């Protein structure tokens, strides 16, 4: 049976195509069908093989095309008239020449399912029939227009399979026709599985090989499922019918060697997976394959190796369109899948370069146009080491369908973020990369980031940044090949390195620190704006004077861009006062090769990942006790002991001799005698900082404001930090007051050596209680001090505020404890209502305890008429037990310490209380006096007790010689 359809209009050369439904009734055939051979079921992992088909093309005055179908289960030489599928004369066909020397041939065949089983995805796999085909291809019987055979393998290999196309008169090129885009590519494993199945079904011979391309049929539906062909005899018109477009490009430059007639060989198979493939002529436009996938309801997208498609897809790397034949090797379609080695070896075009990125935390990528003309970023895509792709899009065209340009002017920078699923973008974003909800990411452990574009249809490397050696831990030593990253901070290209070759040098990259053009507040990135220089650095913290001797304890800390080179820079200790102002301070303490008063940072030294470099003073033995020092990361210096006392300056000078930073300091903030050092460079910026108070048991450093801020004013930028942070980022002073112990004392005496806790206590700390004069404290650490509370003015009793004051160099507001100290009075022998009627130290009269241990339970009793007679704890009565120096009286000494006691039991009319406390630390066996006291007004006025009774009762007096005794052993 042959069905002939009228030819459709052609664009240039006439073409007639015919679909022949019988399977190859060739010359020499008897005309009688061969005996049927039972079909062999293919392996379940392979598509169902339905037979083979040969499609013949012919151009010219009497063009024709035919299809010959061989059913499954036959040997390749067998002939049959039946089969599962029929091909009929093409429903549409075109051929045309473009302006680049090629002819395009498109034939759309009508396909009908004549089997009793529906076909889900009827697919034609091209194969090389070894006995007849030319050059290892799927082509045979190739002739030119004169009918001369073209057996040259290069002719067959010049025929390129593709999607159906139409001529675009405006551009003079070909454009894909969506309704004729049936071209498919297959993985090597898929082609091999189909090959095995076809051999098992006797459709191809053992020496035949299935190639990695073909075409898929589509049904006549306009919506819904676009691939399924229902079984023969289905009810709806055309439900078993579809179409497939076979399209190729052939050379058209030499009449004698141009393919004019040829036949293509295919294996027919039915596949379970609905897929679409991106063809060679649509590599620069992902929207076509996206639309096609949506149109047919594809569950899988196939792309060629050098595609820029950034959606979910299976890349098919250099699919084989011809097997080795003769001296020719295998022939692949399109480029191979990029590899790390390939990206590293490729030459960079370098018109647009990667200039900044952030891999840790919120990722972004910045690019800079270093060419002389504007570029459209839509023509670029990113690739990482994992092979993920992400095409650049305008932020107003997240799905890329509108084709909105993302123009980047010459010399300009733009930054983009991964295309979010929800569409919400950070302010200032210039582009997005990847499809909406893209999984494209930069590895936290390092990556190879490539910027790709397409030049002349070929994927081309525009720029690459190899940061697979990625150091993000500030305690990890850096080498010249290390790239640096740090959490929350971007990695940027030095502003002076503006080429693709320059950004291949790791030391040209650094962490963001300041904005372009100078120093100021520290920033985390410069996305979308000019990059800063990696050659900036500042003095961040200095331990000028350490407790005790300075040797091995002092340090200078620098802040700079992480990863930036600082080797060769100098730290100078310069005198600022007197006749020697401007000269180096010398102390004779330096190592061979060093210059007294100056230190040269070793060549090749780089700032650690966090941008903080510690230069620690070393002893003659090469050791340091500076906390935070990390060997191999930080630097040891024999002479890093700055001049004490103030009136000095510290300079940081680059290896080239320019001033990177300087800080001067003076105890009262006086200006230095000169602002020009021996090297002609400045000694201070605007005003001197205040020198930290000399240390006691602890020391404060001269520290730059948090986050490395630099306002070019030493007084504003630096403060005394009571909590040094060598090797770590500076923090703001957090000066607080926490507790007082004891928190009371006689109003006429105050309290000696009370312990004060808090934070950021500096040497020079002072305490003020109420309106009494302030007193100096001894700072034990940044969180503890001992202070003396003076007597209150006029001996006034009551609760008062306590104010702690750090020295002015700390630049911190006073810390206030409201109503924190009680000035007390003794109510003994006053016969006032506030005096207890009777109280006594009940038991024991004497005891011994080891220092730091809790005392045994101590007991005291009290009687107050109308208050203690009733059983149970009395209301509004405080009881405390305490100790003081031996032979002293709590009425006349401010060295006593008291602690709460609790109600114990009713003893007649008396109430008994019990208490305990921790014995003080002693160096030798020490005896203390101890006793109880009671208050009826909340702790302001107290009745003190002894062992034979005290109070307002007749004949009762307080006797300091009748106190209990506590012996504390060390």
pTM (2 decimals)? 0.79
- DSSP letter for 814, please: P
Which residue(s) pair with 825 in the sheet?
A: 941
Residue 34, CA atoms < 13 Å, CB-side half-sphere = 18
Name the one residue in this structure whose structure tokens are 């950004």: 503
pLDDT, tens only, 45-80: 468 898 898 988 776 444 455 555 544 443 343 333
Q: What is the pLDDT of residue 40?
A: 35
In the numeric block, the tokens 């990253």 are attached to 485
Cα→Cα distances 703→243, 278, 573, 805, 871, Å: 78, 61, 16, 19, 62
| Of 7 and 422, more confident | 422
Q: State yes or no: pLDDT of 213 exceeds 70.
A: yes
Distance from chain centroid for Cα 205: 56
Q: Which two tokens stand for residue 602?
A: 């070793």
Q: The sheet that has 858-863: what strands, in order across it?
A: 838-843, 858-863, 910-915, 902-907
CB neighbourhood size of 21 (10 A): 20
**Predicted pLDDT at 90:** 64
Quote the CA–CA distance of 430 and 419 in Å, as a whole number.
12
Query: Taking residues 630-659, what's their average pLDDT?
Result: 94
d(CA 355, CA 503): 8
Both tokens of 385, joined, read 């080491």
Is 740 in contact with 777 (CB distance < 8 Å)? no
How far apart CA 191 and CA 185 sit, in angstroms, is 9
Q: Which residue has tokens 């490729």?
A: 346
Mean pLDDT is lowest, of 35-49, 172-186, 493-507, for: 35-49
| Beta-bridge mates of residue 822 | 744, 799
Q: Are 485 and 491 in contact (CB under 8 A)?
A: yes
Alpha-helical runs (H) found in 329-477 = 340-345
Give the pLDDT of residue 91: 66
φ, ψ at 706 (rounded to 5°): -55, 150
CA distance 468 to 490: 16
With contact defined as beta carbons under 8 Å apart, do 164 and 245 qualify?
Answer: yes
Indicate the burial class of 376 (C-beta count within 10 angstroms; 0-12, 13-18, 19 or more).
middle
Query: What's the pLDDT score for residue 779?
Result: 96
- pLDDT score recorded for residue 39: 34
Whole-angstrom distance, CA of residue 487 vs CA of residue 499: 26
pLDDT, residue 167, reads 85
d(C-alpha 843, C-alpha 932), whole Å: 10
CA atoms within 13 A on the CB side of 804: 36
Query: Model confidence over 270-288: pLDDT tens digits?
Result: 999 999 999 988 877 788 8
Q: How do residues 400-417 score in pLDDT, each as one tens digit?
A: 888 899 999 999 999 999
Residue whose C-alpha is closest to residue 101's, from 256, 252, 259 = 252
Q: Number of C-alpha atoms within 13 angstroms, CB side, residue 112?
A: 17
Given a contact cutoff of 8 angstroms between Cβ atoms, the answer to whether 321 and 211 are in contact is yes
Side by side, the strands of the sheet bearing 275-277 are 275-277, 300-304, 314-316
Which residue, 254, 248, 294, 255, is CA-closest to 274? Answer: 294
* pLDDT of 13: 30
Owner of token pair 């490539």: 450
Least confident of 73-77, 226-230, 717-721: 73-77
Q: Compute the distance between CA of residue 733 and CA of residue 761 in angstroms, rounded to an integer.
A: 10
Bridge partners (DSSP) of residue 322 are 331
Count helices and strands (H / E) in the chain: 5, 62
Contact in structure between 658 and 650 (CB atoms under 8 Å): no
In percent, the amount of the chain with pLDDT more than 90 equals 73
The pLDDT of 887-898, averaged and rounded, is 95
Instruction: Report the percent of the chain where pLDDT is more than 70.
Output: 92
Does the pLDDT at position 42 exceed 70? no
Print the SS3 string covering 558-618.
EECCCCCECCCCEEEEEECCCCCCCCECCCCCCCCCCECCEEECCCCCECCCCCEEEEEEC
pLDDT at position 341: 85
3-class DSSP assignment, residue 503? helix
Contact 700, 720 (CB under 8 A): yes
| pLDDT mean across residues, the chain | 89
Lowest mean pLDDT among 589-603, 719-733, 802-816, 931-945: 589-603
Contact between 504 and 523 (Cβ < 8 Å): no
Q: What is the tens place of the pLDDT at every residue in 848-881?
A: 999 999 999 999 999 999 999 999 999 999 999 9
pLDDT band at 221 (very low <50, low <70, confident <90, very high): confident
Count of beta carbons in the 10 Å neighbourhood of residue 619:
15
For position 522, what pLDDT does the model report?
A: 78
Indicate the pairing of strand 612-617 with strand 689-690.
Answer: unpaired
Cα distances (Å, whole numbers) of residue 576 to 147, 207, 545, 585, 747? 101, 93, 17, 9, 48
Pairing of strands 300-304, 275-277: parallel
Which CA distances in Å does 385 have to 312, 314, 354, 465?
Answer: 17, 17, 15, 11
pLDDT at 520: 62
Please report which confidence band the pLDDT of residue 574 belongs to, taking 50, 70 and 90 as the band edges: very high
In three-state secondary structure terms, 344 is: helix
Between CA 462 and CA 304 the distance in angstroms is: 19
End-to-end Cα, the chain, rounded Å: 118
Q: What is the pLDDT, as a whole number, of residue 517? A: 61
* 3-state SS class at 296: helix
What pLDDT does 703 receive? 96
719's enclosing H/E stretch is strand 718-721
Tokens 């105890």 sit on residue: 667
Residue 292, SS3 per DSSP:
helix
* Mean pLDDT along residues 587-605: 87
Instruction: Give the DSSP letter of residue 935.
Output: E
Distance, CA of 71 to CA of 53 (rounded, Å): 9
pLDDT digits (tens, 9 = 90+) for 741-790: 999 999 999 999 999 999 999 999 999 999 999 999 999 999 999 999 99
Q: What is the DSSP letter of 119?
A: B
The number of C-alpha atoms within 13 Å of 568 and in the hemisphere containing its C-beta is 10
Contact 853, 968 (CB under 8 A): no
Instruction: Please list, residue by residue across 113-146, b when 16 or more beta carbons sit within 10 angstroms of its beta carbon and e when fewer do.
Output: bebeeebbbbbbbbbbbeeebbbbbbbbbbebee
**Which residues are within 8 A (CB) of 848 and not within 5 positions of it... i.e. 6 or more apart?**
966, 967, 968, 969
Query: Which of 34-48, 105-119, 750-764 is least confident?
Result: 34-48
Rounded to whole angstroms, how far apart are CA atoms 864 and 859? 17
Per-residue pLDDT, 852: 97
Q: What is the DSSP letter of 337?
A: P
Q: What is the band of 343 on the pLDDT scale with cuts at 50, 70, 90? A: confident
User: What pLDDT is stored for residue 696 in this prediction?
Assistant: 86
pLDDT digits (tens, 9 = 90+) for 345-381: 889 999 999 999 999 999 999 999 999 999 999 999 9
What are the CA-CA distances from residue 416 to residues 355, 372, 960 (Å)? 12, 22, 82
Phi, psi of 772 (to 5 degrees): -70, 160
Q: Residues 562, 565, 566, 569: what is their CA dihedral angle, to the nearest 10 degrees?
A: -160
């Amino acid at each position: 049976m042959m069905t002939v359809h009228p030819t459709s209009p052609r664009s240039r050369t006439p073409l007639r195509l015919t679909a022949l439904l019988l399977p190859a009734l060739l010359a020499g055939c008897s005309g009688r069908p061969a005996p049927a051979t039972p079909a062999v079921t293919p392996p379940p992992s392979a598509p169902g093989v339905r037979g083979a088909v040969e499609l013949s093309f012919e151009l010219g005055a009497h063009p024709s095309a035919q299809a010959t179908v061989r059913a499954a289960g036959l040997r390749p030489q067998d002939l049959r008239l039946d089969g599962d599928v029929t091909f009929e004369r093409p429903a549409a066909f075109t051929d045309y020449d473009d302006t680049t020397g090629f002819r395009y041939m498109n034939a759309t065949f009508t396909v009908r399912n004549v089997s009793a089983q529906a076909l889900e995805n009827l697919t034609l796999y091209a194969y090389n029939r070894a006995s007849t085909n030319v050059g290892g291809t799927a082509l045979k019987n190739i002739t030119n227009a004169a009918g001369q055979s073209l057996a040259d393998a290069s002719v067959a290999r010049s025929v390129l399979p593709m999607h159906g196309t139409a001529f675009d008169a405006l551009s003079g090129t070909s454009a894909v026709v969506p309704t004729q885009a049936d071209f498919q590519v297959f993985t090597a494993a898929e082609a091999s599985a189909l090959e095995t199945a076809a051999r098992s079904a006797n459709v191809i011979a053992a020496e035949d090989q299935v190639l990695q391309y073909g075409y898929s049929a589509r049904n006549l539906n306009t919506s819904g499922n676009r691939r399924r062909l229902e079984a023969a005899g289905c009810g709806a018109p055309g439900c078993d019918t579809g179409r497939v477009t076979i399209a190729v490009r052939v050379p058209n430059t030499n009449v004698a060697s141009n393919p004019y007639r040829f036949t293509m060989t295919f294996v027919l198979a039915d596949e379970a997976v609905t897929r679409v493939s991106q063809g060679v002529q649509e590599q620069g436009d992902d929207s076509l394959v996206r639309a096609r996938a949506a149109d047919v309801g594809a569950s899988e997208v196939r792309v060629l190796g050098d595609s820029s498609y950034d959606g979910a897809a299976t890349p098919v790397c250099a699919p084989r369109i011809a097997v080795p034949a003769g001296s020719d090797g295998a022939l692949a379609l399109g480029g191979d899948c990029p590899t790390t080695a390939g990206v590293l070896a490729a030459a960079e075009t370098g018109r647009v370069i990667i200039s900044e990125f952030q891999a840790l935390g919120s990722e972004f990528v910045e690019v800079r146009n270093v060419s002389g003309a504007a570029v459209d970023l839509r023509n670029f895509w990113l690739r990482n080491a994992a092979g993920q792709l992400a095409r650049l899009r305008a932020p107003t065209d997240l799905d890329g369908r509108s084709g909105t340009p993302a123009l980047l002017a010459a010399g300009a920078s733009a930054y983009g973020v991964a295309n979010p699923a929800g569409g919400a973008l950070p302010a200032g974003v210039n582009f997005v990369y990847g499809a909406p909800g893209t999984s494209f990411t930069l590895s936290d452990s390092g990556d190879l980031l490539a910027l790709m574009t397409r030049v002349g249809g070929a994927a081309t490397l525009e720029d690459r940044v190899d940061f697979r050696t990625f150091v993000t831990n500030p305690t990890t030593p850096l080498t010249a090949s290390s790239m640096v990253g740090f959490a929350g901070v971007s990695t940027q290209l030095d502003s002076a390195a503006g080429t693709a070759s320059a950004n291949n040098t790791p030391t040209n990259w650094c962490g963001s620190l300041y904005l372009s053009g100078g120093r100021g507040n520290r920033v985390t990135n410069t996305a979308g704006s000019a990059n800063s220089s990696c050659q900036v650095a500042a003095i961040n913290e200095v331990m000028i004077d350490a407790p005790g001797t300075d040797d091995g304890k002092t340090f200078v800390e620098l802040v700079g861009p992480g990863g930036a080179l600082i080797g060769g820079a100098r730290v100078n200790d310069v005198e600022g006062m007197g006749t020697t102002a401007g000269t180096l301070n010398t102390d004779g303490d330096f190592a061979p090769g060093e210059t007294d008063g100056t230190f040269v940072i070793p060549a090749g030294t780089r700032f650690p990942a966090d941008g903080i470099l510690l230069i620690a003073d070393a002893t003659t033995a090469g050791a340091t006790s500076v906390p935070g020092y990390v060997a191999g990361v930080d630097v040891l210096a024999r002479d890093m002991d700055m001049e004490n006392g103030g009136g000095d300056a510290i300079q940081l000078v680059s290896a080239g001799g320019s001033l990177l930073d300087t800080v001067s300091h003076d105890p009262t903030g006086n200006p230095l005698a000169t602002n020009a050092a021996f090297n002609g460079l400045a000694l201070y910026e605007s005003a001197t900082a205040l020198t930290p108070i000399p240390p006691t048991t602890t020391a404060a450093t001269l520290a730059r404001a948090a986050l490395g801020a630099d306002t070019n004013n030493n007084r504003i930028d630096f403060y005394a930090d009571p909590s040094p942070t060598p090797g770590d980022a500076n923090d703001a002073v957090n000066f607080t007051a926490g507790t007082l112990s004891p928190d009371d004392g006689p109003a006429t005496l105050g309290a000696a050596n009370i312990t004060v806790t808090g934070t950021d206590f500096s040497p020079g700390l002072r305490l003020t209680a109420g309106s009494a004069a302030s007193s100096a404290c001894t700072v034990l650490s940044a969180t503890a001090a001992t202070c003396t509370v003076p007597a209150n003015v006029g001996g006034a009793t009551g609760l008062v505020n306590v104010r702690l004051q750090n020295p002015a160099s700390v630049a911190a507001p006073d810390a206030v404890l409201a109503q924190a100290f009680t000035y007390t009075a003794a109510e003994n022998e006053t016969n006032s209502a506030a005096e207890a009627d009777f109280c006594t130290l009940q038991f024991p009269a004497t005891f011994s305890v080891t220092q730091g241990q809790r005392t045994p339970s101590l007991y005291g009793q009290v009687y107050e008429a109308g208050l203690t007679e009733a059983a149970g704890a009395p209301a509004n009565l405080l009881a405390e037990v305490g100790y003081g120096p031996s032979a002293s009286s709590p009425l006349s000494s401010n060295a006593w310490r008291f602690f709460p006691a609790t109600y114990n039991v009713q003893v007649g009319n008396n109430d008994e209380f019990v208490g305990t406390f921790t014995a003080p630390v002693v160096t030798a066996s020490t005896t203390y006096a101890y006793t109880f006291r009671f208050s009826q007004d909340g702790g302001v006025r107290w009745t003190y007790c002894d062992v034979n009774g005290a109070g307002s009762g007749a004949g009762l007096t307080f006797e300091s010689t009748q106190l209990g005794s506590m012996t504390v052993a060390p």
